[in-house]
Amino acid sequence: MNKQDTEAQIGIEIQSFLQGLGISLNLVQPLPSDASARRYYRLADKGRMLMQEVPGSKDFNQYLIVAEHLFRLGFSVPQVFAVDHSNNLALIEDFGDMTYTRAFAKGHSESDLYALAIDTILALHAHSEATDVNLPEYDEPLLMEELTVFSQWFAPYVQPNIDVAEFEQRFLSFWQAPIKSVSGISDALVLRDFHVDNLMLLEGRSDIKACGLLDFQDAVLGCAQYDLVSILQDARRDLPEGLEETLLTQYLTHRPELDTSLFMKRYWILAAQRHARIAGVFIRLMKRDGKDNYLAFMPRVLKQLKTALNRAGFVELESFLQAELGEWWQWLPATELTSTTGDHNV
């Protein structure tokens, strides 16, 4: 990419930041964006990249806080080389392209890489200083607020004539006691987006250092089970038969002090909460942001949600959802939903 093309794609703030570091614009290559508004620009030297957070976002400072903390604890996160706080810009280490997703596609062992991810989580949960960081708690208000994305986006998409306010009030009432049972627990640093697209296989590093961590700016202090749900019940891909149970056993074997029954009860409650939130987020991405590619994952997410509701014992909530939304777990493409339930303005 020549200098003129680059200048047309990046703002004056980025140009000024890079030039101040002695970096030529000819070396900069914008990368495709994902579900977030954050942008990345790769430098041609392959060792560094530029991260740009949207103006006014609190995520930028959170990213820097968590990155510094995890780096100090000895985990593989991108090293931060330079920062422009006024414009939410950071020059960071480039981990390359070998996400877990790409590693699996190239034939790397699923069981080995997932076991490495669990070892990484175990090391994080075992570290005595992991929770010694100023981060929000994954408390009851936040967990309940996240569930509203289901009632405000998913429910009216499936049933466009639904009274959203009334549905939400009743929907949330079923969650109050279960959510209370998993809130107020801050025994772990929870990365929240611990899944295959945010994990990197880093060549030349050994043990847990080979597992690179990305996209951790939403980290909170909360239940240890949450990141296990993120990786073992991923919206993006199915695990081989029996691997979830094997990896949970791996984790629990290394945590003999835990009450296994209580641990698994909380695991399934948080699984249900996460899947409900994600179902709503995918609809919001489509309706509000025009990003419909995540709908390809919706059948899996709804199957995961139905399973988690059953395993967590949400009998009354399951009955309520079926009465209000019908067979909501039987996902149909937008065109079929429109033809059967009315105009969704998609």
Q: May I ask the CATH class of domain 3-93?
A: alpha beta
> CA angle at residue 201 from 199 to 203, to 5 degrees?
155
The 3 state secondary structure assigned to 296-316 is HHHHHHHHHHHHHHHHHCCHH
Strand ranges inside the chain, DSSP E: 28-30, 39-43, 48-52, 80-84, 89-93, 188-190, 199-201, 211-213, 220-222
Q: In which residue ranges of the chain is CATH 3.90.1200.10 found?
A: 100-341
Q: Quick one: pLDDT at residue 30?
A: 86
Q: In which residue ranges of the chain is CATH 3.30.200.20 found?
A: 3-93
Q: Quick one: pLDDT at residue 143?
A: 98
**In the CATH hierarchy, which fold is given to the domain comprising 100-341?**
Aminoglycoside 3'-phosphotransferase; Chain: A, domain 2 (3.90.1200)
Q: Quick one: pLDDT at residue 93?
A: 97
Per-residue pLDDT of the chain (346 residues; tens, 9 = 90+): 444 544 445 678 888 998 899 888 777 888 877 656 789 999 987 789 999 988 778 889 999 999 999 999 999 999 999 999 999 999 999 999 999 999 999 999 999 999 999 999 999 999 999 999 999 999 999 999 999 999 999 999 999 999 999 999 999 999 999 999 999 899 999 999 999 999 999 999 999 999 999 999 999 999 999 999 999 999 999 999 999 999 999 999 999 999 999 999 999 999 999 999 999 999 999 999 999 999 999 999 999 999 999 999 999 999 999 999 999 999 765 544 443 333 333 2
Rounded Cα–Cα distance for residues 76 and 208 (Å): 8
Sign, Cα dihedral of 200, 205, 208, 209: negative
Cross-strand pairs, 275? none
Q: How many CB atoms lie within 10 A of CB 47?
A: 12
Q: Quick one: pLDDT at residue 34?
A: 66
Q: Are 341 and 162 in contact (CB under 8 A)?
A: no
Which amino acid belongs to residue 71?
F
Q: Are 301 and 235 in contact (CB under 8 A)?
A: yes
- Encoding tokens for residue 332? 């149909």
